Amino acid sequence: MEQKHYWDKVAYDKEFTTGFRMNVFKQYVHIDNRILDYGCGYGRTLNQLFEAGYTHLIGVDFSEQMIKRGRSLWGTFKFEIIESGRLPYEDDSFDAVVLIAVLTCIPDDIEQIKVIEEIKRVLKSNGVIYINDFLLNEDERNVSRYQKFSEKYENYGTFELKEGVVVRHHDTKWIDKISSSFEDLYYEPTVYTTMNGNRSNGFVYMGRNIE
Ligand SMILES: C[S@@+](CC[C@H](N)C(=O)[O-])C[C@H]1O[C@@H](n2cnc3c(N)ncnc32)[C@H](O)[C@@H]1O
Protein backbone atom coordinates (compact mmCIF):
# COMPACT_ATOMS: atom_id res chain seq x y z
CA MET A 1 0.00 0.00 0.00
CA GLU A 2 1.29 3.46 -0.83
CA GLN A 3 2.33 5.27 2.37
CA LYS A 4 -0.17 8.10 1.94
CA HIS A 5 -3.05 5.66 1.48
CA TYR A 6 -2.13 4.01 4.77
CA TRP A 7 -2.31 7.31 6.68
CA ASP A 8 -5.63 8.14 5.00
CA LYS A 9 -6.97 4.73 5.98
CA VAL A 10 -6.02 5.01 9.66
CA ALA A 11 -6.70 8.75 10.06
CA TYR A 12 -9.67 8.26 12.38
CA ASP A 13 -8.27 5.24 14.25
CA LYS A 14 -4.85 6.34 15.47
CA GLU A 15 -3.96 8.46 18.48
CA PHE A 16 -0.42 9.82 18.31
CA THR A 17 1.61 9.64 21.44
CA THR A 18 5.10 11.18 21.35
CA GLY A 19 5.28 13.93 23.97
CA PHE A 20 6.04 17.55 23.11
CA ARG A 21 8.68 19.38 25.22
CA MET A 22 6.79 22.66 25.50
CA ASN A 23 9.18 23.99 28.16
CA VAL A 24 12.13 23.53 25.78
CA PHE A 25 10.24 24.89 22.75
CA LYS A 26 9.22 28.02 24.68
CA GLN A 27 12.85 28.87 25.38
CA TYR A 28 13.43 29.41 21.65
CA VAL A 29 10.05 30.35 20.18
CA HIS A 30 8.30 33.58 21.12
CA ILE A 31 4.55 33.50 21.70
CA ASP A 32 3.95 35.79 18.67
CA ASN A 33 6.01 33.65 16.29
CA ARG A 34 4.64 32.01 13.14
CA ILE A 35 4.77 28.22 13.44
CA LEU A 36 4.36 25.45 10.84
CA ASP A 37 3.56 21.88 11.90
CA TYR A 38 4.84 19.63 9.06
CA GLY A 39 3.01 16.26 9.03
CA CYS A 40 0.57 17.59 11.61
CA GLY A 41 -1.77 14.58 11.42
CA TYR A 42 -5.08 15.52 13.07
CA GLY A 43 -3.48 18.54 14.72
CA ARG A 44 -2.87 17.47 18.31
CA THR A 45 0.38 19.49 18.55
CA LEU A 46 -1.27 22.57 17.05
CA ASN A 47 -3.83 22.32 19.83
CA GLN A 48 -1.10 21.98 22.48
CA LEU A 49 0.67 25.03 21.06
CA PHE A 50 -2.60 26.97 21.00
CA GLU A 51 -3.30 26.06 24.62
CA ALA A 52 0.22 27.27 25.50
CA GLY A 53 -0.62 30.68 23.98
CA TYR A 54 0.71 30.43 20.40
CA THR A 55 -1.78 31.72 17.82
CA HIS A 56 0.04 31.93 14.45
CA LEU A 57 -0.27 28.26 13.60
CA ILE A 58 -0.51 26.29 10.34
CA GLY A 59 -0.63 22.51 9.98
CA VAL A 60 0.20 20.65 6.77
CA ASP A 61 0.00 16.96 5.93
CA PHE A 62 -0.09 14.85 2.76
CA SER A 63 -3.05 12.82 4.07
CA GLU A 64 -6.40 14.37 3.11
CA GLN A 65 -8.15 12.28 5.78
CA MET A 66 -5.82 13.42 8.58
CA ILE A 67 -6.47 17.04 7.57
CA LYS A 68 -10.22 16.36 7.43
CA ARG A 69 -10.13 14.99 10.98
CA GLY A 70 -8.05 17.98 12.12
CA ARG A 71 -10.49 20.44 10.60
CA SER A 72 -13.43 18.69 12.26
CA LEU A 73 -11.70 18.73 15.67
CA TRP A 74 -10.29 22.25 15.51
CA GLY A 75 -12.13 24.29 12.91
CA THR A 76 -10.31 27.49 13.79
CA PHE A 77 -6.81 26.25 12.95
CA LYS A 78 -5.44 26.60 9.44
CA PHE A 79 -4.76 23.22 7.82
CA GLU A 80 -3.48 22.51 4.31
CA ILE A 81 -2.98 19.37 2.27
CA ILE A 82 0.47 19.20 0.66
CA GLU A 83 2.56 16.93 -1.50
CA SER A 84 5.50 15.30 0.26
CA GLY A 85 8.42 17.71 0.45
CA ARG A 86 6.60 20.61 -1.21
CA LEU A 87 5.40 23.56 0.81
CA PRO A 88 3.18 26.23 -0.77
CA TYR A 89 4.93 29.05 1.09
CA GLU A 90 7.54 31.61 0.18
CA ASP A 91 11.11 31.45 1.44
CA ASP A 92 11.59 32.79 5.00
CA SER A 93 7.91 32.45 5.98
CA PHE A 94 8.10 30.82 9.44
CA ASP A 95 9.89 31.41 12.74
CA ALA A 96 9.57 27.75 13.73
CA VAL A 97 8.73 24.41 12.13
CA VAL A 98 7.84 21.29 14.10
CA LEU A 99 8.37 17.81 12.62
CA ILE A 100 6.94 15.29 15.03
CA ALA A 101 7.05 11.56 14.32
CA VAL A 102 7.14 12.24 10.58
CA LEU A 103 10.65 11.10 9.64
CA THR A 104 9.67 7.64 10.87
CA CYS A 105 7.06 7.56 8.09
CA ILE A 106 9.61 8.41 5.38
CA PRO A 107 11.81 5.36 4.73
CA ASP A 108 13.81 6.89 1.90
CA ASP A 109 16.98 8.94 2.62
CA ILE A 110 16.49 11.22 -0.37
CA GLU A 111 12.87 11.99 0.52
CA GLN A 112 13.83 12.79 4.12
CA ILE A 113 16.53 15.18 2.90
CA LYS A 114 14.02 16.80 0.52
CA VAL A 115 11.61 17.41 3.42
CA ILE A 116 14.35 18.91 5.60
CA GLU A 117 15.58 21.14 2.76
CA GLU A 118 12.05 22.37 2.06
CA ILE A 119 11.54 23.12 5.76
CA LYS A 120 14.83 25.02 5.76
CA ARG A 121 13.70 27.04 2.74
CA VAL A 122 10.51 28.26 4.44
CA LEU A 123 12.23 28.94 7.77
CA LYS A 124 13.42 32.46 8.39
CA SER A 125 17.09 33.03 9.04
CA ASN A 126 17.57 32.20 12.75
CA GLY A 127 14.23 30.38 12.75
CA VAL A 128 14.15 27.06 14.59
CA ILE A 129 13.26 23.47 13.78
CA TYR A 130 11.90 21.10 16.45
CA ILE A 131 12.15 17.41 15.57
CA ASN A 132 11.15 14.37 17.53
CA ASP A 133 11.40 10.86 16.21
CA PHE A 134 12.41 7.26 16.82
CA LEU A 135 15.91 5.82 17.21
CA LEU A 136 17.21 2.28 16.80
CA ASN A 137 16.47 -0.21 19.57
CA GLU A 138 18.46 -3.23 20.66
CA ASP A 139 15.77 -5.61 21.87
CA GLU A 140 15.22 -8.89 20.04
CA ARG A 141 11.85 -7.98 18.52
CA ASN A 142 13.22 -4.84 16.89
CA VAL A 143 16.60 -6.28 15.90
CA SER A 144 14.94 -9.18 14.09
CA ARG A 145 12.66 -6.92 12.06
CA TYR A 146 15.51 -4.51 11.23
CA GLN A 147 17.50 -7.53 9.96
CA LYS A 148 14.56 -8.99 8.06
CA PHE A 149 14.00 -5.84 6.00
CA SER A 150 17.51 -4.35 5.82
CA GLU A 151 18.25 -5.75 2.36
CA LYS A 152 14.89 -4.82 0.89
CA TYR A 153 15.10 -1.21 2.08
CA GLU A 154 18.93 -0.96 1.99
CA ASN A 155 18.85 0.41 5.51
CA TYR A 156 19.11 -1.11 8.97
CA GLY A 157 16.14 0.24 10.94
CA THR A 158 13.48 0.35 8.22
CA PHE A 159 10.74 -2.27 8.48
CA GLU A 160 7.18 -3.11 7.49
CA LEU A 161 4.28 -3.26 9.91
CA LYS A 162 1.63 -5.90 9.18
CA GLU A 163 -1.01 -3.18 9.05
CA GLY A 164 0.49 -2.00 5.75
CA VAL A 165 3.02 0.76 6.34
CA VAL A 166 6.81 1.04 6.20
CA VAL A 167 8.43 2.81 9.15
CA ARG A 168 11.96 3.67 10.15
CA HIS A 169 13.95 3.82 13.37
CA HIS A 170 17.04 5.98 12.97
CA ASP A 171 20.73 5.71 13.64
CA THR A 172 21.87 8.81 15.57
CA LYS A 173 24.54 9.37 12.87
CA TRP A 174 21.77 9.82 10.30
CA ILE A 175 20.00 12.37 12.52
CA ASP A 176 23.33 14.22 12.92
CA LYS A 177 23.65 14.27 9.13
CA ILE A 178 20.20 15.60 8.29
CA SER A 179 20.41 18.25 11.01
CA SER A 180 23.94 19.33 10.10
CA SER A 181 22.88 22.52 8.32
CA PHE A 182 21.30 23.78 11.58
CA GLU A 183 23.08 25.14 14.62
CA ASP A 184 22.37 22.66 17.42
CA LEU A 185 20.32 24.16 20.25
CA TYR A 186 19.04 21.13 22.12
CA TYR A 187 19.25 17.34 22.01
CA GLU A 188 17.65 14.87 24.36
CA PRO A 189 17.55 11.09 24.01
CA THR A 190 14.30 9.69 25.37
CA VAL A 191 11.94 6.71 25.24
CA TYR A 192 8.51 6.99 23.62
CA THR A 193 5.40 4.89 23.51
CA THR A 194 4.58 4.33 19.82
CA MET A 195 1.13 4.70 18.22
CA ASN A 196 0.80 0.92 18.60
CA GLY A 197 1.58 0.96 22.31
CA ASN A 198 5.19 -0.30 22.17
CA ARG A 199 8.24 1.34 23.74
CA SER A 200 10.97 2.73 21.49
CA ASN A 201 14.08 4.84 21.86
CA GLY A 202 13.67 8.33 20.50
CA PHE A 203 15.00 11.86 20.61
CA VAL A 204 14.08 15.53 20.72
CA TYR A 205 16.19 17.94 18.66
CA MET A 206 16.05 21.70 18.23
CA GLY A 207 18.25 23.56 15.76
CA ARG A 208 18.61 27.10 14.45
CA ASN A 209 18.57 27.95 10.74
CA ILE A 210 21.95 29.58 10.29
CA GLU A 211 22.21 30.08 6.52
C1 LIG B 1 2.86 9.39 13.13
S2 LIG B 1 1.91 10.66 12.44
C3 LIG B 1 2.31 12.04 13.48
C4 LIG B 1 1.32 13.19 13.34
C5 LIG B 1 1.62 14.42 14.17
N6 LIG B 1 2.89 15.00 13.83
C7 LIG B 1 1.57 14.09 15.64
O8 LIG B 1 2.64 13.81 16.22
O9 LIG B 1 0.47 14.10 16.20
C10 LIG B 1 2.76 11.04 10.97
C11 LIG B 1 2.01 12.03 10.06
O12 LIG B 1 2.88 12.44 9.02
C13 LIG B 1 2.18 12.42 7.80
N14 LIG B 1 3.20 12.20 6.76
C15 LIG B 1 3.94 11.09 6.59
N16 LIG B 1 4.81 11.25 5.59
C17 LIG B 1 4.62 12.50 5.11
C18 LIG B 1 5.22 13.25 4.07
N19 LIG B 1 6.18 12.72 3.33
N20 LIG B 1 4.79 14.51 3.85
C21 LIG B 1 3.78 15.03 4.61
N22 LIG B 1 3.16 14.37 5.60
C23 LIG B 1 3.59 13.12 5.86
C24 LIG B 1 1.16 11.32 7.95
O25 LIG B 1 0.06 11.52 7.08
C26 LIG B 1 0.78 11.44 9.41
O27 LIG B 1 -0.31 12.31 9.60
Residue ID of nearest Cα to ligand 1 atom 27: 41
Closest-CA residue, ligand 1 atom 1, reads: 101
Cα–chain-centroid distance for residue 24? 17
Residue ID of nearest Cα to ligand 1 atom 8: 100
Pick the CATH number of 3-135+168-209 from 3.40.50.720, 3.40.50.150, 3.40.50.300, 3.40.50.10540: 3.40.50.150
Every domain of the chain and the residues it spans: 3-135+168-209
- pLDDT digits over 41-85, tens only? 999 999 999 999 999 999 999 999 999 999 999 999 999 999 999
- pLDDT on residue 1: 58
Q: pLDDT band at residue 110, thresholds of 50, 70 and 90? A: very high
| 63 CA closest ligand 1 atom index | 25
Ligand 1 atom index nearest CA of 16: 9
Ligand 1 site, residue 45, Cβ cutoff 6 A: yes
Provide mean pLDDT across the span 165-189. 98
In the predicted model, what is the mean pLDDT of the chain?
Answer: 97
Pairing of strands 158-161, 78-81: unpaired
Mean predicted confidence (pLDDT) in 150-170: 97
Radius of gyration (C-alpha) of the chain in whole angstroms: 16
| pLDDT greater than 70 at residue 102 | yes
